[in-house]
Structure 1
Amino acid sequence: MIKNVLLVDDDRAMLLALQEGFARYSDSFSVLLAGDGIEALEYLKRQPVSLVVTDLKMPRVDGFELLATIMANFPDIPVIIITGYSTPEMERLARKGGAVSFVAKPFLIENLARQIVSMLRQEADGGTLHNVSSGMFLQLIEMEQKTCTIRLEEKTFGEKGVLFFVEGELCDARVGERQGEIAAYEIFGWDDVSLAIQNDCTVRQNRINKELSSLLIEGARRSDELEAQRAARHGGAARPGSGSSPDDTLTGVRLKIECTLGTRCGLEDVIRDERWMGRVHSISQSGERLKLGKLSLAYIDQGDSCDYLLLPADHAVVAVNPKCPRDKLLQLLGE
C-alpha cells in the first residue's frame, strides 16, 4: 500500500524541489502538495495521509496552528517541521506541540527522505494482515490488553480508517472527518479489510467509553445502512448481494456469540441447513396445536462431540462442542 506524504510550504519552488527529489521513493510513498495550512487541512479531510512535512512561517494558517489542529483532530499522523528560522526555543515549542522531528533549512533532501521512510515503516511495525474479518482480530487486541494504532482499508470502496487502543480498550476511531463511536460503527461494518498494526498509540483520551463487544454487534447491525451511505458518497451502488442476505444473518449470529462469550466459547459453526429447519417447522406446528406458543429456540443434545441449537427466526443452526457454556448460550440466544 503506497502511503501519502503531505508537503506544506508557501514556497512553490521548495515544494517542487522536494517533489522531484522524492520521486525515487515513489515505491514507498506518494507526495501531496499544499501551499498553506488551510489547503493542507482540506487534504487531510478528503483523503488518507500518513505523514505531514510542513514549514512554519506561512500565510493564513502557519505551521504551529496546523500542528495544533493535526494533534487535535488527526492524532495518528506524525508531523515533521522544517524551517529557515531555526532557534532552540522554536524547536522546543514545536516538539512540545507534538512534532516528531524538527529540520532546519538548508537540508539534504536525501536525509529528509530517509527520515520519512523510517517513520512510515513504524506505521506497520506490528505487522500487516490482508483479507481479514476485523471483529475476531480486534477481540484478540482486547484480550491481550494491547496498546496500538490499527489502520484499516476496506476493499469495496477503498475507504480507510484508524482505531486507537490503549491497554486493550478502544479509545477512539476515525474515518475521514468522522470520529469516535460513529466512526467505529462504520469500520466494524466493513466485511473485507487489510490492516496494519503500529505498536504505539498517541491517543489517551477515551472518546467512546463502550464495550468492544457491543460496538461490534451494533456495527454489524448497521452495516447495510452504512454501506448504502458509502455508496452514495462514492457515487456508486452498494456491492452486489449487500442487504439482509442469509450470509449476513449467519455472520450476525456468530458475532453475537463470540463477542459476548469469547472466541474460545466452544462454537463450531453457524450454518443454514434446511433439513433441520423442516424438523423445526414440525415441532413448531405441534407446539401451536397444543397451545404452547411459537418455538423460538431448540437445543439438540446428541450425546457426542457436537450439539446443535436451532434458531427458527434466523433459519440458523448453531453447532457447539461440549466446552460450550450451554446455559449462557441459551440465555444469550433466547433474548
Structure 2
Amino acid sequence: MKKILIVDDEEDMIWSLQKNLNHESLKVDIITASSGEEALKILAANPVDLIITDIKMPGISGLELLVEVKNRYPKTGVIVMTAYPSPEYKNEALAKGGLHYIEKPFDINELRKIIKRVLKETSLFKGTVAGVELSDIIQLNCLSKTTTALAVNTADHEGIIYFDKGDIVHAACNGRVGEEAFYTILCFEGGTLETRKHANPPPRTINQHSEALLMEGARRMDEAKAGGALTAGEVDSWDFDGAITPEKPLTSINSEKTEPSTASPKEAQMVSTKEEQMGNLQELLTEFTNIPGVNTACLVGRDGFLLDSVTIAGTDAETIGAIASSGFGASESMGNQLGKGMLTMTMIEYENGPVMLAPVGGEAFLVIVADKNSNLGMIRLKIKKHAGDIATTASI
C-alpha cells in the first residue's frame, strides 16, 4: 500500500485531510506530522511515496522541508499547500522540485485526482538511459505533448525545464530564468535527469518555439566547443577568399578575373557524373511529393545537414532537416534501449498530418512531411521501394 505523509502545524487541517483522503478510491496509508522536524524523523525511519506539506510552519518551513526531501529522498513526490498564496511562493516551490502547488481552501476531489496521478507514476517503469543527448530527451517531451518538469543536475550545477503540453515554458538555473537558463542547461556536459510528470509550470518565461530554442541551443553548443563566439573585431579581421576586408577593397574584388577552367577530362567527367546523380536523386524524391498530400521529401545527414530536398508550398527544408535529426536520433536510441533492433521507419502523427522518418544507408535518413489526409500506405510503400535507390544514388 502506498504511503502518504501529511505535514501541517494546524491540527484541524491534518484531521480533515486524514479523514477525506482515507477514501476507498485511494487505498493509501496516511501518516501525519505537525512540523518539518517531525516529518524528517518519520522519513528517516519510514520512507513514504508522497508528502503533502504546508508552507508556513514554525521551525522548518514547507519549502525547507521540500529541499531536504529532494536531497535525501529524490524519488519522493511533494505537494505544497498554503493559505497564503503568492507568485513568489509558487515559483520557489516548483523550482525546488514540488510536483504541485495548491492553495487553501481547495477542492478535496481535485486533490484526490492529483494524488492518484502522482502515485500511479511511482508504479511505472524506471531505469537509466545511456547514450542519449539531453536535446533528444527535450525533443521527446515536446513531441509527446507532455506537461512535466525535467530536472537536470551535474556535480556543480542544477537546472530545471518546464513543459506545458509539449511547449517549453520556463527554465531556471544558477539564478537565471527563461531562455538564458535553458541554454545554460543545454550546455551541461553529463549529469543526471529526473522527470517530474504533471508538475505545474510556473508563469511562462519562455516564448520561443521549442524548435527554435533547440536550434539556437545547438548553435551555442557548437560555438562553445569551437572556443566560443567570435567578437566583432575578430570577424572584421577575417580575410576570406574574395571577401571584402580593409586590406581587399570592393574595387579589387570586382576587378579580379575568373581564370579559365583547368580541369582534366577525368575531373570534368566526375563533375558531370555528380550532377547526373543529383538529378536522379531529385527524381526519386519527387516520387514522394507526387503522392497527394505529401509536401516535403528531404534527405538529411545524421548531423542534421540537408543533402537534398523536393518541397512544395514554400517549406523550409533546411529547418526541417535540423529539427528532424533530433527526433530521428531519439527514435534510434529508444529502440536500442528497448532491445528492438535497428530502426526501419518511424512516424510521428500530429493534428495536421504525419512526419515519417526512415534511415537511408548508414549516414542519412529520409524525412517525409504530409497532410493529415495523405495516403500513409503509399508513402510507406515508396519508402521501402526507393530507400535503397536513394542510398545508391547519393553514394551514402
Same fold (TM over 0.5): no
Larger radius of gyration between Structure 1 and Structure 2: 2
TM superposition score category, shorter chain reference: 0.3 to 0.5
Q: What TM-score, normalized by structure 2, do the two folds share?
A: 0.33
